[in-house]
Amino acid sequence: MRKLLKFTPIIMLLIGLTSCRSVKVASDYDREANFDNYKTFAFFKPGIDKAEINDIDKRRILRAIEAELMAKGFTKSETPDMLVSIFTKSNQRVDIYNNAWGYGAWGWGGYGGWGWRSHGNTVSTTTEGVLYIDLIDTKKKELIWQGSGTGNLETRNIDKKEARIKEFVSQMLLQFPPEKK
């Protein structure tokens, strides 16, 4: 039991770090769409051009989407069944940690004297990005599936950034095509 208590802070730190790095994904789709009819895709340039992300990261995202769709058996085509578009958002995330209580307590004496003491808060800000992937029926010009992935993308290391983008796209497209009910 003592060993478990000894390693509890380390385990909690690892859980915290891995939860910060994870991608939170969600998807929605048109229940009337027959996803068996979609075999080919192309990128919807007007939609992609509006995405508020630099061109280098945009190309990384598109390459990752293309690789994932092709791995699922879809083919890129000039006359596609569905169009792929993306857009992005960013949110400023502020975390406030109030874990600096101590050095005294109610009562007489002790370090810090009389009363309860607090020595401040720790504030952390990060930018969370949200990537949306839209799949549009080419003939009907209707959205048939949308995936979203939320997580932290900031990194100065290009290899890590590229791997993070691939992780985003891969996690999102795990939910495509939706399972038949």
pLDDT, tens digit, for every residue of 24-62? 999 999 999 999 999 999 999 999 999 988 899 999 999
Is the pTM higher than 0.85? The answer reads: no
Which value, to the nearest 10 degrees, does the dihedral of the CA atoms of residues 148, 154, 159, 165 take? 0
Give helix 158-173 / helix 55-71 axis angle, nearest 10°.
40
User: What domains sit in the chain, N to C, each tagged with a CATH number?
Assistant: 25-93+127-173 (3.30.160.670)
Sign of CA dihedral 165, 168, 55, 82: positive
Q: Tally Cβ neighbours within 10 Å of residue 130.
A: 16
pLDDT value, residue 18: 40
Note the Cα 170 to chain centre separation in Å.
11
pLDDT, tens digit, for every residue of 75-110? 999 999 999 999 998 776 677 776 555 544 455 555
Distance in angstroms (rounded) separating the CA atoms of residues 112 and 127: 38
Q: Are 106 and 115 in contact (CB under 8 A)?
A: yes
Find the mean pLDDT for residues 153-159: 80
Q: How far apart are the first and last CA of the chain?
A: 47
